């Protein structure tokens, strides 16, 4: 109940008023039945802008850190994400990917919409990065279509590290559903799930027009941070 109050009474109208999202391809979202909406991830705002414009409820797999913050702020953040239909997923450890897949398949088994960012993390520089194969495993296993989605302008309104977004119009594009039924039963084959993932990322790329990087975003970000010169702090006067 709170999800719909948040969407239609509180957050949804405010987001539509402030950011005036231009929507393209909304007819590609099925009116019922399970499906995956796979999009690029440029900003913290993405979590709220896409759900705000969809008629159907959509559940996202969100990083567990949003649910485990300390103090009152942490508890409020966790309560908000749960109320917004987000599912916490622990991204650490070797079993993290399997946990995310289990949670996602649970959503799809109920005939619902599942939202996922195949890059696995927000883009730190606005480019589109190589997709992780979990989205392909879920699509093939559940036998559901994948609707590619591109968020446009959200990196500019709220890049990583910026707490409050700028008030500026954004755009959201949905592509035609991708059918992967030809891969049925091949969710354990590396070549198959890589091919499906790459097809999904290419569809997102066509919608977004971003520069593509054939590396995982987390790996590139870690390498850049390691190569950055150490910060120098001024000496304290005694």
SS3 letters across 90-109: CCCCCCHHHHHHHHHHHHHH
DSSP β-ladder status, 146-152 and 171-174: antiparallel
In this structure, is residue 138 part of a structural domain? Answer: yes
- Tell whether 119 is covered by a domain: yes
Return the structure tokens found at 46.
């993405």
pLDDT at 190: 97
In a domain, 238, yes or no: no
Nearest to 88 by CA among 117, 129, 110, 59: 59
Domain that holds residue 84: 2-227
The answer to whether residue 198 sits within a structural domain is yes
Residue 29 pLDDT more than 80? yes
Question: Residue 204 domain-assigned?
Answer: yes
* Cβ-based neighbours of 84, under 8 Å, separated by 6 or more: 3, 6, 11, 47, 48, 51
Q: How far apart are CA 92 and CA 115, in angstroms?
A: 20
The answer to whether residue 125 sits within a structural domain is: yes
Q: Specify the CATH number for the domain of residue 32.
A: 3.40.1130.10
Count the domains in the chain. Answer: 1
Record the pTM.
0.87
Give me the torsion for CA of 97, 52, 129, 74, rounded to 10°.
Answer: -60
Q: Answer yes or no: is 236 within a domain.
A: no
Q: Is residue 237 part of a domain?
A: no
- What would the pLDDT profile of 135-189 be if each residue is shown by its tens digit? 999 999 999 999 999 999 999 999 888 888 899 999 999 999 999 999 999 999 9
């Amino acid at each position: 109940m709170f999800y719909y109050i948040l969407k239609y009474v509180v957050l949804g109208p405010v987001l539509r008023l402030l950011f005036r999202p231009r929507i393209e391809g909304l007819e590609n979202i099925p009116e019922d039945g399970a499906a995956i909406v796979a999009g690029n991830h440029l900003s913290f705002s993405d979590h709220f802008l896409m759900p705000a414009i969809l008629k159907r409820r959509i559940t996202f797999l969100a990083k567990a850190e949003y649910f485990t913050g300390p103090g009152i702020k942490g508890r409020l953040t966790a309560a908000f994400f749960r109320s917004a239909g987000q599912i916490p997923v622990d991204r650490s450890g070797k079993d993290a990917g399997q946990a995310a897949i289990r949670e996602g398949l649970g959503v799809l088994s109920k005939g619902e919409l599942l939202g996922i960012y195949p890059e696995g993390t927000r883009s730190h520089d606005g480019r589109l990065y190589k997709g992780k194969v979990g989205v392909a495993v879920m699509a093939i296993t559940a036998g559901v279509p994948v609707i590619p989605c591109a968020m446009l302008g959200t990196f500019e309104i709220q890049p990583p590290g910026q707490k409050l977004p700028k008030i500026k119009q954004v755009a959201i594009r949905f592509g035609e559903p991708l059918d992967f039924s030809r891969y049925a039963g091949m969710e354990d084959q590396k070549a198959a799930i890589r091919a499906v993932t790459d097809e999904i990322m290419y569809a997102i790329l066509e919608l977004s027009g971003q520069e593509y990087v054939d590396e995982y975003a987390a790996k590139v970000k870690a390498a850049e941070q390691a190569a950055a010169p150490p910060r120098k702090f001024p000496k304290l006067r005694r």
